[in-house]
Amino acid sequence: MNVRKMVFGISAGMLFMIGTSACLWAGEPGNLILETVDKGLVILKDESLQGEEKLEVRKQRLWEELSPIFNFEEMSKRALGRYWRERSPEEKEEFVRLFTDILKESYIGKTDSYSGETIALIKERQEDRYAKVQTKFILSGGKEASVDFRLLNNSGKWTIYDVVIEGVSLVNNYRSQFNSILLKSSYADLLEMMKEKTEKKKT
């Protein structure tokens, strides 16, 4: 009786684990990445969302699925670097909003319909509140691109604060740009440039 219960318990537990994890050995951050990419791919593969005229709907759906696991405030903070501390809370809020818009329009807007991309988990490393998940995107042409995700654990919830594609960190790339701009012009000018960028993308 007890033995049977135990066996049932073990197998149920194992089934549960197999069911919940896309990759058996992946930890929580790794799973989050794989699951989110899967969700994104489901939308891209969706027959009813194909074609040029469905672009806006597709972008919206993708945004709804993908944006919750990105930590835009952390990205903004890191991209702005030392200039972040000089900003008032309202200014910070405005900056996060503008930066989020730029990222949304630039990267979600780029996604075309699905053409056979897959993702493979290479390894993940976790240090305290921080995690690094290394993956490989296998593109339709058989080309591979290494994509690393950096995650931060905020009171139990893992969020992405940087994406590193082929060694190029998204946040650091923007930080170089912000630095270069702010060395020559004022913060107000930078905001103006960011607004212009988002306006231009929308039209």
Partner 1 sequence: MRKFILPVICFFVMVSVTGGPAWAEGNVLLADAEPVIIDDVQNYEEFEEENPLAIEADVVLVKDPLEAYNRVMFAFNDKFYYYFFKPVYTGYSNVIPEPARKSVNKFYTNLTMPIRFFNCLFQGKFQSAGTEMLRFSINSTLGIAGLFDPAKSRFHLDAQEEDFGQTLSKCKMGPGTYIVWPFIGPSNVRDTVGLVGDIALNPITWITYLYLNPLEGFGIRAFDTVNTGSLEAEDAYEGVTKAALDPYVALQDAYVKNRSKKINE
Q: Which residues bind partner 1 (CB under 8 A)?
A: 10, 13-14, 17, 21, 24-27, 78, 81-82, 102-103, 106-107, 110, 123, 125, 127-132, 141-143, 150, 152, 166-169, 171-181, 190, 193-194, 197
Q: How far is the CB of 194 from partner 1 (least distance, A)?
A: 7
Angle formed by the axes of helices 55-66 and 28-45, nearest 10° = 170
Q: How far is the CB of 181 from partner 1 (least distance, A)?
A: 6
Q: How far is the CB of 69 from partner 1 (least distance, A)?
A: 18
CB nearer partner 1, residue 143 or residue 202:
143
CB nearer partner 1, residue 48 or residue 160:
160
User: d(Cα 163, Cα 150) in Å, to the nearest integer?
Assistant: 6
Q: How far is the CB of 188 from partner 1 (least distance, A)?
A: 14
Report whether 187 contacts 90 (CB < 8 A). Answer: no
- Spell out the residues 6+ positions from residue 26 whose beta carbon is closer than 8 angstroms to its own: 34, 121, 124
Q: Parallel, antiparallel, or unpaired for β 144-154 and 157-165?
A: antiparallel
